[in-house]
Structure 1
Amino acid sequence: MPAVAGRLTAHAPLAPLLWFKTGGAADWLFEPKDADDLAEFLAALDPSIPVMALGLGSNLIVRDGGVSGVVVRLGKAFAQVQRTGDMVLRCGAGASGILVSSTARDGGIGGLEFLRSIPGTVGGFVRMNGGAYGREVKDILIDCDVVLRDGSRRTLALADLHYTYRHSELPEGAIVIAATFTGSPAEPAAIQAEMDRIAASREASQPLRSKTGGSTFKNPDGHKAWALVDQAGCRGLMIGGAQVSEKHTNFLINTGTATSADIEALGEEVRSRVKAQSGVELEWEIQRIGSPVA
């Protein structure tokens, strides 16, 4: 491994960093000091070694056999949010949706309230075109900065990402390090009221206090994933320690003893039952990475 200014840990357990609290270890976990540290590390790293970024650990299943290569976790150095112009915020990729939306509120910038409801960081939002409550990242993004797998840096405009529903065309191996968002003038009190409404709606409808990964499946055209799962009789369905949430059927939860294999198998069983009942093929929204236990 190349020398680093940040922290590089071998055989690093990932389960404590993930919302599901399951899964194996990474060959290497790299927490860079800053963008220069990340770029220099990637430039010096053997190009055959795979690299992936990890945010808050939501929306992710790490299989029980762990992840080969390097997992990059962007910490406090990448979590700054600053107002850089009229209705413009410059956000580090490690910043949470709550921090971004709160900073927007303080600056009288409306239209970013939906980020309050997405459990993740700016890097993940940008990669996945994160969205909720009728808005998506494509509605607020101006551009983003990335470090490519070879260590070079690029700024990508909104049009470069070719956003579709929960998908972008970021270059293979690119790690988002910052993004520029824009909104529209609004009163901070009105912004806070909308954030409160969103928070109350999530609390009432989602299993926020459980070990979960967020929304499991994408909404198919013309359908709501949760409704299809419910109609297929999957509410409360269990495999091992994994369960389809009773509160919101598009959430899988770890009841305390689940393995990643349990969670993934439950998701596949739900997909099978939905296909048999409705003919609709559900697509995973949660990313699944790594190897199963041999």
Structure 2
Amino acid sequence: MTASSNLTDAIRAAAPNLRGRLLENQSLSDLTWFRVGGPAEVLFSPADEEDLSQFLAALDPAVPVTVIGLGSNLIVRDGGIPGVTIRLGGKAFGSVAIDGETIRAGTAVPDMRLAKTSAEASLDGLAFFRGIPGSVGGALRMNAGAHGGETTDVLTQARGIDRKGEARTFTHAEMGFRYRHSSAPGDVIFTSATFRGRPGDRQEIEAEMDRVTAAREAAQPIRERTGGSTFKNPEGGKAWQLIDAAGCRGLTLGGAQVSEMHCNFLINRGGATAADIEGLGEEVRRRVRESSGVELHWEIKRIGVDRSEV
């Protein structure tokens, strides 16, 4: 994908007072945990919520918009992402504030930091976020969970900006949470969230977080270039057990491999392309379907276009 000067020029003309960074043909591979993928045609990092609102209000509605966070549960395809890619960061979207039992966090805040800050305030109920390698924004989109807890258990409200540049607020009920899913409008870019904890003992909460960390390190290939859990658990079952039973543990395609340690994780062994990783995932799905009749569904988000489409 080549730089789109015409798109960038059109954006600057429509919104001349933007304060955030606007970059053309920006590589995204370094922003994903797999370390693969093509460039963003245009990458925008807004200075704050007002800047984001101004940007979206001025942007041609025909231009596609994609949002990325920490890049943990993400495959960016090798052809890159057409249109505008938005990535939130900085103090405006990366701060956490405590008020009594209420925790307000920007959506660029890593889930692990949310857990740590809550523990330091002796607020219980959010320790499970220690085991989620993503950000608050991603947690809102997929009702992220780990070790017996889910985002739906503690979220009270979420705020975002829609495609027209208008601020929107969503109650817990309006988020429409279910397993690894939210039914909030797809055009909303979440900017902050409010959670409610409960009074607890800091040492006990931190001990629980240590147990979560130890469990992750013992069972998951967290030191590898991976994207976290690849497939959602089917109802009444475990994805890794089906993958193992289908003989996929250690299976390779190009530079990609099914983890020997935990076979619901895919790994970039070095030199893998996004096509290798996604193709390996599809092969795993095929083998599981043939061996068990179960259709596995991706938990990792896959975005962008294949190299052949560029």
Q: What is aligned with 2:283?
A: 269
1:222-266 C-alpha deviation (Å, 9 max, x unpaired): 110011100100000000000000000000000001000000000
Question: Which one of 118, 121, 124 corresponds to residue 110 of structure 1?
Answer: 124
Superposed, 1:55-70 pairs within 5 Å as: 55-70=69-84
- Matched residue type, 1:169: S
Q: In structure 1, what is the Cα distance between the partners aligned to 2:64 and 2:124?
A: 39
Question: Which one of 196, 204, 211 corresponds to residue 218 of structure 2?
Answer: 204
Q: What is aligned with 1:80?
A: 95
Alignment pair present for 1:97 and 2:111: yes
**Structure 2 length as normaliser, TM-score?**
0.93
Q: How many residues align?
A: 293
Q: In structure 2, what is the Cα distance between the partners aligned to 1:291 and 1:53?
A: 15
Q: In structure 1, what is the Cα distance between the partners aligned to 2:187 and 2:64?
A: 8
Partner-residue secondary structure (3-state), 2:213: helix
- Per-residue deviation at 1:106? 1.0
Superposed, 1:157-176 pairs within 5 Å as: 157-176=171-190
1:110-144 C-alpha deviation (Å, 9 max, x unpaired): 01001011011101001110001111100000000
On the 8 A contact 1:52/1:173 being kept in 2, the answer is: no
- Matched residue type, 2:282: E
Q: What is aligned with 1:194?
A: 208
Q: In structure 1, what is the Cα distance between the partners aligned to 2:149 and 2:119?
A: 17
Superposed, 1:222-241 pairs within 5 Å as: 222-241=236-255
Q: What is aligned with 2:54?
A: 40
Task: Detail structure 1 runs of 4+ shifted over 6 Å in the superposition.
Answer: none
Aligned-pair identity (%) = 53
- Matched residue type, 1:121: S
Q: What is aligned with 1:12?
A: 26
Question: What is the RMSD of the two structures over their aligned residues, measured on CA atoms?
Answer: 0.7
Question: Which one of 140, 152, 165 corresponds to residue 126 of structure 1?
Answer: 140
Partner-residue secondary structure (3-state), 2:118: helix
On the 8 A contact 1:91/1:180 being kept in 2, the answer is: yes
- Per-residue deviation at 1:10? 0.6
- Matched residue type, 1:44: A
On the 8 A contact 1:97/1:122 being kept in 2, the answer is: yes
Q: In structure 1, what is the Cα distance between the partners aligned to 2:302 and 2:205?
A: 35
- Matched residue type, 2:44: F
Q: In structure 2, what is the Cα distance between the partners aligned to 1:272 and 1:230?
A: 13
- Per-residue deviation at 1:172? 2.4
Partner-residue secondary structure (3-state), 1:23: coil
Q: In structure 2, what is the Cα distance between the partners aligned to 1:61 and 1:264?
A: 8
Structure 2: 5+ residue stretches without partners: 1-10
- Per-residue deviation at 1:206? 0.4
Q: In structure 2, what is the Cα distance between the partners aligned to 1:174 and 1:197?
A: 35
- Matched residue type, 1:127: R
- Per-residue deviation at 1:221? 0.3
- Matched residue type, 2:210: D
Q: In structure 2, what is the Cα distance between the partners aligned to 1:11 and 1:54?
A: 16
Q: What is aligned with 1:242?
A: 256
1:154-184 C-alpha deviation (Å, 9 max, x unpaired): 1100100111111111212110000001111
**Structure 1 length as normaliser, TM-score?**
0.98
Partner-residue secondary structure (3-state), 2:307: coil
